[in-house]
Amino acid sequence: MNLKAKGYVQNQKAEAQQKLANRIALLESQGQEGKAVTRDAIIKKLQADIRKASRRLAQVAAQEKLIAQKQQTKIEKAAAEKEKAAADTPKIKKAAPKPAKAAKKEKKAAAK
């Protein structure tokens, strides 16, 4: 189900629930009760529409949950790779080569 249709389906469900409540009130005002109300074709259709919208909303919720899990996994994977790359890079000491050059210069100066 398209995630962008979530609001549309929510509106459909709310509208069907309102129509169902109105229809039940109408039938009860006409004197029908119990099984006669549940047997009404319009009520059956409205209940089916509500079930249909509920299933669609459940699918959207499942997709949103899956997307959130994928994003979280992606973030964790990137953080793990960053830590691994930081741990693998060797630390270069630049202070060690300078004394060797200074020692060579002193030897040349002493030889002259």
The H-assigned helical ranges of 1-112 are: 6-29, 35-38, 41-88, 97-111
Q: What is the mean pLDDT of residues 87-110?
A: 68
% of residues, the chain, pLDDT over 90? 60
Q: What is the DSSP letter of 90?
A: P
Q: What is the mean pLDDT of residues 79-93?
A: 78
- Identify the H or E element spanning 34: none
In terms of pTM, does the model score above 0.85?
no
Q: Which residues of 11-35 are buried (b: 16+ CB within 10 A; e: fewer)?
A: ebbeebeebbeebbeebeeeeeeee
pLDDT at position 111, please?
A: 75
Look up residue 64 and give its two tokens. Answer: 């949103």
Say which range, 12-26, 29-43, 95-109, has the weakest mean pLDDT. 95-109
Place of tokens 């995630």: 3
Question: What is the C-alpha to C-alpha distance for residues 9 and 7, in angstroms, rounded to an integer?
Answer: 5
